[in-house]
C-alpha cells in the first residue's frame, strides 16, 4: 500500500499559528478534565467528608481493580459540564473500559462526592451508554456502587421513560442472560433504585462499615412503619452477607474487596485482549511515518480555512499507508483503505462540503467495506451537503439519502471522530450519534449544530423577520436578533456543550486518536471471535 506524501510545511507562519492555537485548546481540555476529578461547586467539602470516612476516591478505586500499569479508557469525562449549576462534575459517575487479568471490562462507578453519587438525567444516560458498549462488545460489567439512587428533585427526567433508571435494570438483566458477568462491589449507601444494581448482579461484595443496601433508608422506614433503626442494622454488609444473602462476600477494606473481585474475574473465563488467535485480518502494527504532534499545526485555527483530511489520515494510520478509492472523483470526500494498530479500516473523511459525486463515492465505498467486512472510520469535517439550484438539479437530496441509508444499514463496526465541523445532514451521512457508531469521539476544535453560527444568523433572522412587520423593524432590532441567534448557535455548537450532554463518548487530544482507535479495534476484533453464551435468564440471586 502506498505511503501518503505529506505536503505540510512545518516551517510556515500558518502552521505555527495553528499549533499555538491548538496547544491552547489542549491546555483547556486538560484543565477541564481536572474539574471532573476534584472541581465543582461545594465539592471540596464532599471530598473531605468522603476521605474522612476512610473511603477511596472513585478513580483510585478503578486503579485498584485494573491490572497494574495498564491504562483506563475513561468515557465522557466532561459529562455534566456547564449543567446543574456547576455542581455535577462527570455527572457523578465514572464509566470506561479497563483490563482485569488482561480481559477488558466495562466499569460503571458512582462518584459519591457528587450529590451523594445520585443519578441525574445525564448520569443515567452515561450508565446506560456504558451498558450498551458492554452489549455491543460482549464485555462483562463491574459496578462500583456508591449511590443514593435517582436524583429525586429531577425524578421525572430519570424514572419513567425508556432508557431511564428502569432501562438500566433491564439492560443489566439482559447482559447477565447474554453470559456477560455482572459484578458489584458495594461501597456506600445503596438506597431504593440504587439497591437493584447489586441485587441484579451475578456476584456481590460488600465492604464492612461503608457498604449498605436497603430498599428504603432509615427515614423512609420511620415514616412508613414507625421503626427507628440504625443504617447498619437495616442493610449493613454483615447483615446482607451473613443473614439475608443479598451479598456473597464480606470485605473489611476496599483493598480486600478489589482483591476478591479480581479473584472472581479469574473464574469467568473471558478471553484476554492480547489473544489474537482467530482475529480475521490483523498484522503487526507499524507507526505512522509522520509525527502526530503535527496534527496541531494542520488543523486550522480559523474554522473558515479548510485543512486537508489526507494529512490527518497520514498521522493516524499504520505506516501512513493509504489506498485511496476514486482519488480523482468526488474529491470533497476522501475514501480509502488503511490499517490502524494492525486492523484494516475503511476511512471516509471530509474535505469540506459534500457534493452529489462525493456522496455517491462514499456510498460506493461503504458498500465495498460491507462486502469485505472492513470496519469503517468516519472523520467528520463538513458544513453539510451542498445546497443551491445546481445541486438540487443534480439530485443532491437523493444522492445524500443514498449515503445516509448506506451508513444506517452498514453492519460492519463504525467509528466516528469529529475532527472539525459537523453540520446539518453531514453529521448524519458521516455517521453521527444517531447512526450508532460503536464509539464517537470529538476533538476540542470541533463544532456540531444544524448549521454554523454565521449561517444561522442569516437564516434564522430572515425567518423571524418574515413573521415581523419588516418595515416597522429598526436596524437595531435586526442587529439584536442577529446577535441573539449567533450567541445561541455559538454556545450550542461548542464541543463542551456537546460532550456535557453525551452527544459523544468524550473529547480527546488529537494525538490520542490513533491509540484510542487501536484499543477499540482490538476489543471489537476480540468480541467478533468470542461466541456469545446465553442461558436465557442470566444469574438470579438465590
Query: Closer to ligand COA at the Cβ: 130 or 210?
Result: 210
CB of 96: closest distance to ligand COA in angstroms?
23
Cell of 126: 452515561
Beta carbon nearer to ligand COA, 88 or 251: 88
Residues with Cβ within 8 Å of 445's Cβ and at least 6 positions away in sequence, in order, are 22, 25, 299, 303, 419, 420, 495
| Cell triple for 85 | 449549576
Nearer to ligand COA, 197 or 376 (CB): 197
Distance in Å, CB of 43 to ligand COA, minimum: 9
Shortest distance, position 91 Cβ to ligand COA, whole Å: 13
* Cα-based distances in Å from 407 to 127, 347, 372, 378, 398: 26, 13, 15, 10, 14
Coil vs helix vs strand at 82? coil
Q: How far apart are CA 395 and CA 366, in angstroms?
A: 20
Q: Which is nearer to ligand COA, 232 or 308 (CB)?
A: 232
Tell me whether residue 25 or residue 150 sits nearer to ligand COA (CB atom): 150
Least distance (Å) between residue 9 CB and ligand COA: 54
Contact 140, 203 (CB under 8 A): no
Report yes or no: 19 and 11 within 8 Å, Cβ to Cβ.
Answer: no
Task: Return residues touching ligand COA (CB under 6 A).
Answer: 46, 115-116, 118, 148-152, 189, 191-193, 217
Cβ distance to ligand COA smaller for residue 56 or 97: 56
Distance of closest approach, residue 58 Cβ to ligand COA, in angstroms: 14
What radius of gyration, in Å, describes the C-alpha atoms of the chain? Answer: 25
One DSSP character per residue, 390-410 reads: HHHHHTHHHHHHHHHHHHHH-
Q: CB of 189: closest distance to ligand COA in angstroms?
A: 3
Buried b (16+ CB within 10 A) or exposed e, 168-184: beebbbebbbbbbbbbb
Work out the end-to-end distance of the chain between its first and last CA atoms, rounded to an integer number of angstroms. Answer: 57
Query: Would you say 98 or 193 has its CB closer to ligand COA?
Result: 193
| Backbone angles phi and psi of 435, in degrees to 5 | -105, 15
20 closest CA partner among 301, 381, 359 = 301
What minimum distance in Å lies between the beta carbon of 151 and ligand COA? Answer: 4
Which one, 115 or 399, has the nearer CB to ligand COA? 115
Nearer to ligand COA, 189 or 429 (CB): 189
User: Nearest approach, Cβ of 174 to ligand COA (angstroms)?
Assistant: 21
Sign of CA dihedral 308, 311, 312, 313: positive
Place of cell 424514572: 159
Smallest distance from ligand COA to CB 230, Å: 13
Extract the runs of DSSP E, i.e. beta strands, from 27-123: 73-75, 93-100, 103-110
Amino acid at each position: 500500500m502506498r505511503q501518503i506524501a505529506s505536503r505540510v510545511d512545518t516551517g510556515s507562519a500558518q502552521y505555527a499559528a495553528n499549533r499555538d492555537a491548538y496547544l491552547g485548546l489542549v491546555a483547556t481540555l486538560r484543565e477541564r478534565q481536572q474539574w471532573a476529578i476534584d472541581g465543582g461547586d461545594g465539592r471540596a467539602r464532599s471530598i473531605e467528608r468522603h476521605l474522612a470516612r476512610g473511603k477511596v476516591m472513585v478513580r483510585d478505586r478503578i486503579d485498584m481493580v485494573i491490572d497494574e500499569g495498564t491504562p483506563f479508557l475513561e468515557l465522557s469525562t466532561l459529562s455534566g459540564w456547564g449543567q446543574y449549576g456547576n455542581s455535577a462534575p462527570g455527572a457523578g459517575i465514572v464509566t470506561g473500559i479497563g483490563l482485569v487479568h488482561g480481559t477488558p471490562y466495562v466499569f460503571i462507578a458512582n462518584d459519591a462526592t457528587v450529590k451523594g453519587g445520585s443519578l441525574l438525567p445525564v448520569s443515567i444516560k452515561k450508565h446506560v451508554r456504558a451498558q450498551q458498549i458492554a452489549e455491543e462488545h460482549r464485555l462483562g460489567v463491574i459496578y462500583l456502587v456508591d449511590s443514593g439512587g435517582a436524583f429525586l428533585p429531577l425524578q421525572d427526567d430519570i424514572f419513567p421513560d425508556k432508557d431511564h433508571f428502569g432501562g438500566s435494570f433491564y439492560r443489566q438483566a439482559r447482559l447477565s442472560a447474554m453470559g456477560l458477568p455482572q459484578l458489584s462491589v458495594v461501597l456506600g449507601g445503596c438506597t431504593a433504585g440504587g439497591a437493584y444494581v447489586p441485587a441484579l448482579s451475578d456476584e456481590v461484595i460488600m465492604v464492612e462499615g461503608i457498604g449498605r443496601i436497603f430498599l428504603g433508608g432509615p427515614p423512609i422506614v420511620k415514616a412508613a412503619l414507625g421503626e427507628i433503626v440504625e443504617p447498619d442494622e437495616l442493610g449493613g454488609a454483615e447483615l446482607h452477607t451473613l443473614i439475608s444473602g443479598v451479598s456473597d462476600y464480606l470485605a473489611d477494606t476496599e483493598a480486600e474487596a478489589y482483591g476478591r473481585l479480581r479473584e472472581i474475574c479469574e473464574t469467568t473465563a473471558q478471553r484476554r485482549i492480547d489473544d489474537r488467535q482467530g482475529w480475521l485480518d490483523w498484522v503487526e502494527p507499524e507507526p505512522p511515518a509522520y509525527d502526530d504532534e503535527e496534527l496541531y499545526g494542520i488543523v486550522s485555527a480559523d474554522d473558515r480555512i479548510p485543512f486537508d483530511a489526507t494529512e490527518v489520515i497520514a498521522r493516524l494510520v499504520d505506516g501512513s499507508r493509504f489506498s485511496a478509492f476514486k482519488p480523482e472523483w468526488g474529491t470533497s470526500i476522501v475514501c480509502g483503505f488503511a490499517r490502524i494498530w494492525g486492523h484494516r479500516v475503511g476511512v471516509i473523511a471530509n474535505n469540506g462540503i459534500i457534493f452529489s459525486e462525493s456522496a455517491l463515492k462514499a456510498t460506493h465505498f461503504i458498500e465495498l467495506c460491507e462486502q469485505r467486512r472492513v470496519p469503517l472510520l468516519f472523520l467528520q469535517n463538513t458544513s453539510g451537503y451542498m445546497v443551491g439550484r445546481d445541486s438540487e438539479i443534480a439530485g443532491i437530496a437523493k444522492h445524500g439519502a443514498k449515503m445516509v441509508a448506506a451508513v444506517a444499514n452498514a453492519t460492519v463496526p463504525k467509528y466516528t471522530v469529529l475532527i472539525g465541523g459537523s453540520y446539518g445532514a453531514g453529521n448524519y451521512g458521516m455517521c453521527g450519534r444517531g447512526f450508532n457508531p460503536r464509539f464517537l469521539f470529538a476533538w476540542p476544535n470541533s463544532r456540531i449544530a444544524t448549521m454554523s453560527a454565521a449561517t444561522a444568523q442569516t437564516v434564522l433572522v430572515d425567518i423571524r423577520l418574515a413573521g415581523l412587520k419588516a418595515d416597522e423593524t429598526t436596524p437595531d432590532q435586526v442587529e439584536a436578533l442577529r446577535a441573539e441567534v449567533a450567541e445561541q448557535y455559538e454556545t450550542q455548537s461548542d464541543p463542551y456543550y456537546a460532550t456535557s450532554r453525551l452527544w459523544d463518548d468524550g473529547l480527546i487530544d488529537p494525538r490520542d486518536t490513533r491509540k484510542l482507535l487501536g484499543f477499540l479495534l482490538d476489543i471489537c476484533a476480540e468480541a467478533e471471535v468470542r461466541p456469545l453464551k446465553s442461558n436465557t435468564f442470566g444469574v438470579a440471586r438465590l
